Chain A
Amino acid sequence: MLEIKNLRASLEEEGKEILKGLNLTVEAGKVHAIMGPNGSGKSTLSYVLSGRDGYEVTEGAAELDGQDILEMEPEERAAAGLFLAFQYPVEIPGVGNMTFLRTAVNAQRKARGEAEMDAATFLKVVREKAKELKIDAEMLKRPVNMGFSGGEKKRNEILQMAMLEPKLCILDETDSGLDVDAMKLVADGVNAMRSPDRAFLVITHYQRLLDHIVPDVVHILANGRIIKTGGPELALEVEKNGYADLIEEAA
């Protein structure tokens, strides 16, 4: 599903290299977790994959289902099936959540040459999915993320993901700022979307999210590279011993 080969990327303004030859393969149907200390390049990886300005790819490739995504605009990557759940979802005053969702769903359908979803169907689907995430009608009506609590913002991210039905979901520190109940709700939303033709890349600092979204594979990212790959037990090891030993071991 996702194939990253020797990816090198720098901050455009400072020219500082953040990703230093990263290799990663995520198969369809699998959940891969990426853990790593602060500054290891976790968020940079999510931004480079989703096409945010400010990063320069200097070497390597990233393919989604065999398609090179690094040359695409962010909206083209989205239409190709990539979704990034933001660590800090953005507030957009004056644009209704529903309007935004419908614009996004139909823009992607249009880009893929599919028919737009009619208003009635859209309303029905969005209400169903919102209910599962305990997002009430009031939240759907409000401007995007305006006045939402941390938990509500993250649930709203998952709602967008559920509506857009991407092939590859990248969750960037989705657990940050969540209490246990909120985390469980978000995890349930993610787990409900696990399917043989969808892959997840879960970026996190802590192991606790992985109790709820159980990964198939865990990678440790340090200094712009994957330094170790293992099963869920690797996350437990990090939780117990920290990253220092692993980094030393890899050096």
Chain B
Amino acid sequence: MALPQAKLTATQERLAGLAMPEAAGWSALPRAAALARVQAMGLPGRRDEYWRFTNPGDLIAPDPHPSRHHPTQKTPVFHEMDRVRLVFVDGVFDAAASDDPVLAGVEITRLAEAQDQNIHWAADLYGTLEAHGHEPVERPLAALNTAFATDGVLIRATARAAKPVNLIYLNKSDCSDAILHHVIKVEPGADLTILENGPAAARFNKVMEVDIADGGTFHHVRSQGRDHDRRAVTHMFARLGRESVFKSFTLTVNGVLTRNECVIELMGDHGVAHVAGACLGDGPDFHHDDTVFITHDAEQCESRQVFKKVLKNGATGVFQGKILVQPGAQKTDGYQISQSLLLDEDSQFLVKPELEIYADDVACSHGSTCGAIDETALFYLRSRGVPRAEAVDLMVLSFLAEAIEEIEAEEIREEIVTRLSRWLSRHRG
């Protein structure tokens, strides 16, 4: 079917400014296939149902909106943790700023250098989960990423990693337009934790494909903050084998336009997939969108979506979340909760929770709420001498707790709470 003219023009204009790497090696084929997908789908537009609540304009424009703000942080999040740091500056891997990519039971290769190497597992996986993720909803910005990614990292875990791998993004240029594509494979019984943080570029498009084999465990904690001009679209595609575990948590503060998509498919029995997010938005320029799609394709799997947003001074939060239970996926345990705490009447929360179930023996629940601060609880705190502003902060932390508790590692959980508390005390009123 031919694309509408406006969509075709927007897509052509954007594609005109992009080039694939000259020596793409094994990635040339999946890149070409991804480009064909983008051309067939067209880039998202305002009239697309899946972009009803979020204007993709800044994400598809030929040039990025310049970032005026280049934050430097003396003590970035996770800095006290023992981890392997991989640093990307404006979307390019910076070996000098990174740790030696050496970790027992884990192979780490830079995408831009891997394309001539014979890395079978990555060649098989690159773009595969993304290509699969367009059914039933198209995600053209992810296909664009597969086609034009300039860098990224390929990580294969074959055992329990002794420490997390931390992907750190830095933004130094006013108009960097970074496209990063990471591919992660967790082999049977292996266990890997990925941390992500930092402002990546003036505009950031990131895809992470995660393939978790039977009995594998993958944890992911991401902090999006500091970059007040952030315009970012990210996709996480995960495929889970039998008895495998996937847990992802994202903290989002600041930024202008952030769309985080997470597409998970439970392919083996007894798999567990949790995806959670806590978001704090302050001001009319803040727009944050969590879009989640979880497919149950096997029996006795558990999935949880826990998303909490605190919005004030005219901020906007979006949640689109779906649980799809395929025929035969019996004994599915699916849970989805999306809640917002609106601290004033100018902020808004737009939600589209969905359940689609084709199996008859499942337990699925979803809920969505939108509310103000509980005045009784606020009075309780104040009556004990806690000043109003601090009491509001405590109530906000209380509201976000269910999402934060999804982080399994206590050390990381405490770090996130500490960051949140500091952010709150800087953003009172």
Interface of A toward B, CB cutoff 8 Å: 50-53, 73-75, 77-79, 83-84, 86, 89-90, 92-95, 100, 103-105, 107-108, 111, 143, 160, 164
Contacts and interface: CB of A to CB of B under 8 A. Distances in A.
A73 B388 contact: yes
Given A93-B402, A94-B398, A95-B397, A78 B376 contact: no
Nearest to A52: B379
Interface residues of B, number: 26
B380 interface: yes
A95 B388 CA distance: 16
B375 interface: yes
Interface of B: 374-377, 379-388, 390-391, 394-395, 397-402, 404-405
Nearest to A80: B385
A107 B385 contact: yes
Nearest to B380: A90
A53 B395 CA distance: 17
A53 B380 contact: no
Closest 9 CB pairs of A and B: A94-B401, A78-B385, A108-B385, A104-B384, A74-B382, A94-B398, A90-B380, A75-B382, A107-B385
A79 B386 CA distance: 9
A47 to B, nearest CB: 9
Contact of A79 (B374, B385, B402): B385
B383 A78 contact: yes
A105 B385 CA distance: 8
Contacts of A78: 382-385
Contact of B384 (A73, A94, A160): A160
B48 to A, nearest CB: 36
Contact of A74 (B377, B383, B395): B383
Given A75-B388, A90-B377, 5 more contacts: A53-B375, A53-B379, A75-B382, A93-B402, A103-B386
B232 to A, nearest CB: 28
B376 A103 contact: no
A107 B390 contact: yes
11 contacts: A52-B379, A53-B379, A74-B379, A78-B385, A86-B380, A86-B383, A93-B398, A94-B405, A103-B386, A104-B381, A164-B384
